[in-house]
A and B are shown apart, each in its own frame.
Chain A
Amino acid sequence: MREVTIPISDDVIRSLKVGEPVALTGVMITGRDAVHKWMIETFIKKTRQPQGDDLEVYEAIRPILQGGVIYHCGPVVSGLDTKQYKFVAAGPTTSIREEPYQADVMQHFNAKGVIGKGGMGPKTLKGCQEVPFVYFHAIGGAATYIAQSVEKVLGVYKYDFGVPEAMWVIQVKNFPVVVTMDAHGNSQHALVEEDSKKVLESLLSQPY
């Protein structure tokens, strides 16, 4: 399995191909529905004024996301009372909900990888080529197994979004993923969608 260290360079990103299993090591940040909406509204489209600790958080996450990785994940975390945080279960959440936002977020922060499940659509695939970045697929539901590759929780931002929606900064070692959308316009998800559509059409045309 190919080992890739975060932050990731553009050269490494362009060398990754659909179907390639990768073990990721370094620091990444979780972010899902609330985070993407917040990033777009507050800092990218600027339809909402920064409030509370928004600017402070923005400055703190920028260097992590530069060449970095966003993980679509709402973890189960222990040690909430004592702030001795530990990831107990941390598989990926469905990525397609971030389709309207993802490419713009990656562009804005110059981030190099998204980890999630289920794949994403054409806007994100175009962004993969332009920014460039890749989509890494983790195994949905394999939460305890994946949590084992999280060595340490370094911190948390926007805790008030709730545990699943907060931005958790984590140090990972050999985090297991597969590239399913690369920086050359290839998407495993688009291929499977297309092939299965043909079978569906043939099944629908058969008599009962």
Chain B
Amino acid sequence: MRDLTNEILELIRRTSSDLPADVEERLRAAIEKEAPGSAARGALETILKNVELSRENSSPICQDTGTPIFYVKHPEGWSTRKLREQIRTALAEATRKSYMRPNAVDAIYDKNSGNNLGGDDFPYIHFEEVEGDELTIELMLKGGGCENVGIQYSLPNAALGAGRDLAGVRKVVLDAVHKAQGQGCAPGILGVAIGGDRGSGYVKSKEVLFEKLGTRNPDPKLAELEERLTQEANQMGIGPMGFGGQTTVIDTKITGLHRLPASYFVTVSYMCWAYRRRKMTVKSNGEVVYD
């Protein structure tokens, strides 16, 4: 089996230092909506200068290089055991090269492992066998500031008047945006899972964040709610960094899951503006391309 360690190292470098074009484009567009001389506009201008510098220097966009979340989709015949080892080796090397901050801290003994490897679950790696002959590895780096403002609601929620329907979902998601204020490094991107259990809700609310900005849920009811939530969240005026301003949320992505009759969870994962996600594809001819 081919050794992909160097290619995965390159995936990590790109993810940490090179913000995807669709995100940068939205941030640029957001500048024009903020008043000249305002703190919000200043924040966005600084953000974009930083994006350019990080790309030039191959240095992390954000010092919090986050939880590394890998999604590996492989054709039949690949060894997931070997791929896991290659990912872990590449991650330790990326840490040595300062593409990544050592971020894995033993929660019981407060000890930082120093190389981003910790137990079986850090980094988080999801494997899935797929049809065809292309292997893809997607990586998302999700910082702690935005992870901390993620939230799960159990409906009905009396305080918000939220029942078990999309009207209720809308209410709790808007509440989540208000609660987050600028803490999650606004402008943010919302990943929302409706249904599932507590665990799958969080997993799926992050999984939807792998999709490109502007991709709408194929269900028109959810697509409409996605658009509406982004627009209404921006009415709150929280703005970049929570300074007050026009752009609080860049996009919203919703996924619907099955739930138990007894449970109705709405899980919101908040992604910061430093929306670091990249994909590498190993084509059938062996060529490796990055997106």
Closest residue of chain A to B273, judged by CB? A141
Complex: A140 Cα to B61 Cα, angstroms: 10
A143 within 8 Å of B by Cβ? Answer: yes
Complex: A21 Cα to B235 Cα, angstroms: 26
- Asked if B183 and A94 sit within 8 Å, CB to CB, the answer is yes
- Asked if B98 and A78 sit within 8 Å, CB to CB, the answer is yes
- Asked if B62 and A204 sit within 8 Å, CB to CB, the answer is no
- Asked if A74 and B101 sit within 8 Å, CB to CB, the answer is yes
Size of A's binding interface in residues, CB under 8 A: 52
- Asked if B65 and A139 sit within 8 Å, CB to CB, the answer is no
A52 within 8 Å of B by Cβ? Answer: no
A67 within 8 Å of B by Cβ? Answer: no
Closest residue of chain B to A180, judged by CB? B243
B258 within 8 Å of A by Cβ? Answer: no
- Write out, one digit per residue, whether chain A residues 159-196 have a CB within 8 A of any chain B CB (1) or not (0): 00111110000000000101010000000110111011
Complex: A73 Cα to B243 Cα, angstroms: 20
Report B208-267 residues with CB < 8 Å from chain A CB.
232, 235-239, 241-244
Complex: A21 Cα to B42 Cα, angstroms: 10
B53 within 8 Å of A by Cβ? Answer: yes
Report A130-150 residues with CB < 8 Å from chain B CB.
137, 139-148
Q: Residue A75 contacts which of B63, B110, B145, B274 (CB distance < 8 angstroms)?
A: B63
B181 within 8 Å of A by Cβ? Answer: yes
- Asked if B53 and A192 sit within 8 Å, CB to CB, the answer is no
Q: Residue B50 contacts which of A19, A21, A145, A165 (CB distance < 8 angstroms)?
A: A145
Q: A89-B101, A93-B144, A161-B112 are in contact. List 19 more A-B contacts (CB 8 A).
A: A73-B63, A75-B101, A119-B182, A139-B43, A140-B182, A143-B54, A143-B60, A144-B50, A145-B49, A146-B50, A147-B63, A148-B53, A188-B243, A191-B244, A192-B181, A192-B237, A195-B237, A203-B235, A208-B166
* 17 A–B pairs (Cβ distance < 8 Å), ordered by A: A74-B63, A76-B60, A93-B64, A94-B145, A137-B243, A139-B43, A140-B145, A141-B143, A143-B54, A143-B61, A143-B62, A145-B53, A147-B63, A188-B39, A197-B178, A204-B174, A204-B175
Which B positions have Cβ atoms within 8 angstroms of A? Answer: 39, 42-43, 46-47, 49-50, 53-54, 57, 59-65, 98, 100-103, 105, 110-112, 114, 143-145, 148, 160-161, 165-167, 170-171, 174-175, 178, 181-183, 185, 232, 235-239, 241-244, 272-274
Which A positions have Cβ atoms within 8 angstroms of B? Answer: 19, 21, 34, 73-78, 88-91, 93-94, 96, 117-119, 137, 139-148, 161-165, 176, 178, 180, 188-189, 191-193, 195-197, 199-200, 203-204, 207-208
